[in-house]
Amino acid sequence: MRPAQSSLLVVLSVFALYTTPAASQFAVSTNPIPHAALDLTYKADRNQWLFVDKYAVPYERMLVQLCVGRNASACSLASVHASGLCESLGEQLAGPGWRAVDAPADPCLGLARVNASMRSDPPNGLALDNNFSALRAFDLSQANNQSDGSIVLRVRFVYVQSLGTSSAHVHSSGYELVMRPLQDTPESVVVQTECSARGLRAPHSHLAPALGGSILEVVVLNNSGTPTRVCMWQCALPYLKMPWNAPPLVVNVSASPGASAAFTASCARAPASFAAVALTIPLLGVDLFSFDVAAEILLGVDRLAELMAADLLARFGPVRVLISLRDSEYNTRRVQEVLDWIRSFQRLPEYNVVATVNTAFDLKNAATANRRLLQASNESGAHTAMLDVVLVAGINTQTLCCLADSALEFPQKLKSHDLGTQTAHFEQSQVEVTVVVKQKMREQPITQDQTSRRKNHDISSILVPILIVVLLVGVFICLQKKRS
């Protein structure tokens, strides 16, 4: 079976596992699951499968379509990403075999509907009854009498944003599901990634990244020459991972290292307009980081971010503080990627951007001469590390004038910080760049009523002067007749 070009094909194979409630209750697909693409869970309390679209986008309303055609060729999985009149968009989405499931008629698209053993589950999910007899009516497999009882379904998530009264923007993502019925239904069956199989989860993973959900991924790290597979969770911009180095949450093990941080962690959306400051803080008195203690050190770095945010709160309001340890062997992601994203606003015509670069900034390459100079001033002979910091705050008079200065003052007030296994002392910090990003006011789309009123106003503005001229001419003619 071949997927349509430029479409996303997700093939799930769910095999039966007989488990007791005390056993590990998950099953891993025999087919590779696309990286961070899905979250499929069996809900025993409802006897339903829940399929989640990880590629959802912000929307006003959503609907799910099911392929009811006799074969897969009747239902293309190619994504639809278009704006236009409701009628034309409805025709584009309908196709020869697509039908909307479990939803009232959309006020704009007006798509045909079908009753099926499934229903949309906002914000970005689809609930399928564990009733394969009913689902088989929509089976697209070439051989319906397969010995394993599997069926093939095609579904499509459609996200709608209204543009006035008769237009809209739509975005869709399509999937092909290959499902096998459970023989012995366990209490809970989850088909996820390797990290999920280890009993790890990420904050708000039921949401798509575009809606503020997080993604679990496996990163291969070098542990003294030995490849080590570590699970990390990430957010998709414009959502910022808070705290930056927080580990995944260990399910049902609240006492695990970093569990408290994971409970409070989230993907925090950056404001539409904001001020940002990037700076670097040199650390003295820090021993070389071994891989075994790296995770604990990063938790200490996140505690520093929380202290800085709390210190700045009273004057500047909520400030998102992100700190990465440069050249970390454990979390190789740097907050520099957030700074690169902030700089990218300069290329967008919808924003006004003012960036102020510190030409004297010389802490960019910690491993070279700058590090040696800093080490020379350290009497203990301990190594020097660098913390890269990005602060993001809503725009107000205080953030525009003083956020950078306050960020520089904070390490000097604190002087040192406990990193769990050692205490780090702060050297003089430097600001690399400050950026102010302001979103331009967008013009509201003109509706048909507004267009009609504008036309009537234009006609009135032309007719009134003409009537006045005609009236004056008539008066003039009458006066001339009286004189004659």
- The per-residue pLDDT for range 31-89, each reduced to its tens digit, is 333 322 345 677 777 778 888 887 888 899 999 999 998 778 888 888 889 999 999 99
Is 76:132 a contact under the CB 8 Å cutoff?
no
Residue 13 has pLDDT above 60, yes or no: no
pLDDT of residue 39: 53
Are residues 305 and 250 part of one domain?
no
DSSP per position, 366-431: TTSHHHHHHHHT-TT--EEEEEEEEEEEE--HHHHHHHHHHHHHHHHHH-EEE-SSSEEEE---EE
> Nearest Cα to 389, choosing from 308, 285, 286?
308
pLDDT of residue 324: 94
Query: Is 54 a member of any domain?
Result: yes
Residue 30 has pLDDT above 50, yes or no: no
- The per-residue pLDDT for range 405-455, each reduced to its tens digit, is 999 999 999 998 988 778 889 999 999 999 999 998 765 555 555 555 555
Query: Is 183 a member of any domain?
Result: yes
Per DSSP, the three-state class of 247 is coil
Are residues 291 and 254 part of one domain?
no
Torsion of CA 278, 203, 211, 270, to 10 degrees: -20
Query: Is 483 a member of any domain?
Result: no
Are residues 320 and 458 part of one domain?
yes
The DSSP H or E segment spanning 343 is: helix 336-343
The segment with the largest mean pLDDT, out of 21-30, 367-376, 427-436, is 427-436
pTM: 0.59
Number of H helices, E strands in the chain: 9, 24
Rounded Cα–Cα distance for residues 444 and 446 (Å): 6
Are residues 216 and 96 part of one domain?
no
pLDDT of residue 147: 54
- The per-residue pLDDT for range 239-283, each reduced to its tens digit, is 999 999 999 888 754 444 444 443 479 999 999 999 999 999 998
Query: Is 26 a member of any domain?
Result: no
pLDDT of residue 37: 34
If you average pLDDT over residues 372-381, what whole number do you get?
42
Query: Is 302 a member of any domain?
Result: yes
- Residue ending a domain, among 128, 163, 191, is 191
Residue 14 has pLDDT above 90, yes or no: no
pLDDT of residue 12: 34
Are residues 287 and 251 part of one domain?
no
- Residue ending a domain, among 191, 218, 243, is 191
pLDDT of residue 390: 97
pLDDT of residue 442: 60
Are residues 416 and 305 part of one domain?
yes
- The per-residue pLDDT for range 112-138, each reduced to its tens digit, is 899 898 999 888 889 988 888 888 888
Q: Give the residue, 336 or 466, on which the prediction is more confident.
A: 336
Number of domains in the chain: 3
If you average pLDDT over residues 149-176, what whole number do you get?
88
Q: Domain of 356?
A: 270-463
Q: What percent of the chain has pLDDT over 90?
A: 34
Are residues 170 and 129 part of one domain?
yes
Are residues 394 and 274 part of one domain?
yes
- The per-residue pLDDT for range 301-315, each reduced to its tens digit, is 999 999 999 999 999
Are residues 430 and 304 part of one domain?
yes
Give, to the nearest 10 degrees, the angle between helix 291-316 and helix 397-414.
Answer: 130
pLDDT of residue 69: 84
Query: Is 437 a member of any domain?
Result: yes
- Residue ending a domain, among 191, 208, 224, is 191
Are residues 339 and 213 part of one domain?
no
Residue 372 has pLDDT above 80, yes or no: no
Is 394:273 a contact under the CB 8 Å cutoff?
yes
Are residues 255 and 286 part of one domain?
no
